[in-house]
Amino acid sequence: MKLTYFGHACFQVEIRDKKILFDSFISHNELATAVKTDEIDPDYIFLSHGHADHIADCVSIARRSGCKVVSAFEVHEWLNKQGIANTHPMNTGGKWNFDFGTVKCVVAHHSSGLPDGSYGGNPMGFVFLTDEGNFYYAGDTALTLDMQLVPTWARLDFAVLPIGDNFTMDVADAIRAADFVACKTIVGVHYNTFGFIVVDTEKARQDFQQAGKTLLLPAINETINLS
């Protein structure tokens, strides 16, 4: 499975020739000016929640590519109002079999208002179960005991966790989250984009290493192979 990082909490995973983009926030990210948003052509966009730093480029990418957008029910309704019809509403606890594998929506402790103030429902994380491997994307969330349920559903090859603190888990809590989900390979996201979430990345890598885990922090536009 290949993962390409586009900055902040935006990344793309390729599974069975399907390109799955997560939390499309690129053109407003000052650190991601080298990413050519117009050339991103996914088959799916998964949105963890409705905050602008996760959905800002969703409407334009979805309109151009025709991809299917998967999100909480309320975010789906909002997207429909923006003229994006190819959507799939889900909610926490539910799963669906897509053409690349099965996705289960899990608890994330955060908030989810949409950019125009509309109600966005609850934020979510996603557990992906596929022939090419399994992974968990936590979305924006606090450390939560609910994460201990993840290994009962999936043996993970990797997990994508926020590490930036202030709005989400910090590095120490992300290490505990990695324990809760029983995963040693972590891709860190949601850090260094704004002043509130600056992380000492070298120390973060060392802290994970001391806990017997690997923290991967791909550069923007870098593609890494996982599982």
Residue 23: contacted member of Ni ion, Mn ion, none (CB under 5 to 8 Å, by partner type) = none
* Phi, psi (deg, nearest 5) at residue 35: -85, 130
Residue 173: contacted member of Mn ion, Ni ion, none (CB under 5 to 8 Å, by partner type) = none
CB of 206 to Mn ion, least distance (A): 25
Residue whose CB is less far from Ni ion, 140 or 173: 140
Could you tell me how many residues make up the chain? 227
Residue whose CB is less far from Ni ion, 74 or 140: 140
Residue whose CB is less far from Ni ion, 43 or 140: 140
Report the interface residues with Ni ion, using CB under 5 A.
51, 140
Residue whose CB is less far from Mn ion, 43 or 165: 165
Interface segment toward Mn ion; rule CB under 5 A; list 35-43, 51-59, 79-87, 192-200? 51-59
Size of the site for Mn ion (CB under 5 A): 2
- Contact of 125 with 48, CB cutoff 8 Å: yes
Interface segment toward Mn ion; rule CB under 5 A; list 62-70, 123-131, 134-142, 144-152? 134-142
Which residue bears the tokens 């730093």?
Answer: 53
- Contact of 121 with 154, CB cutoff 8 Å: no
Interface segment toward Mn ion; rule CB under 5 A; list 31-39, 48-56, 81-89, 94-102? 48-56
CB of 111 to Ni ion, least distance (A): 7
Tell me the two tokens of residue 196.
């509130």
Interaction between residue 53 and Mn ion (CB under 5 A) = yes
Rule CB under 5 A: which of 75-104 touch Mn ion?
Answer: none
Interface segment toward Mn ion; rule CB under 5 A; list 90-98, 132-140, 175-183, 195-203? 132-140
Tell which one of 43, 57, 140, 157 touches Mn ion (CB under 5 A): 140
Tell me the two tokens of residue 103.
């996705």
Residue 165: contacted member of Mn ion, Ni ion, none (CB under 5 to 8 Å, by partner type) = none
DSSP string, the chain: -EEEE-STT-EEEEETTEEEEES---TT-GGGTTS-GGG---SEEE-S---HHHHTTHHHHHHHH--EEEEEHHHHHHHHHTT---EEEE-TT-EEEETTEEEEEEE--S----TTS------EEEEEEETTEEEEE--S----GGGGGHHHH---SEEEEE---SSS--HHHHHHHHHHTT-SEEEEES-SSSGGG---HHHHHHHHHHTT-EEE-PPTT-EEE--
Pairing mode, if any, of strands 11-15 and 18-22? antiparallel
Residue whose CB is less far from Mn ion, 140 or 173: 140
Residue whose CB is less far from Mn ion, 42 or 50: 50
- Which chain residues interact with Mn ion by CB under 5 A? 53, 140
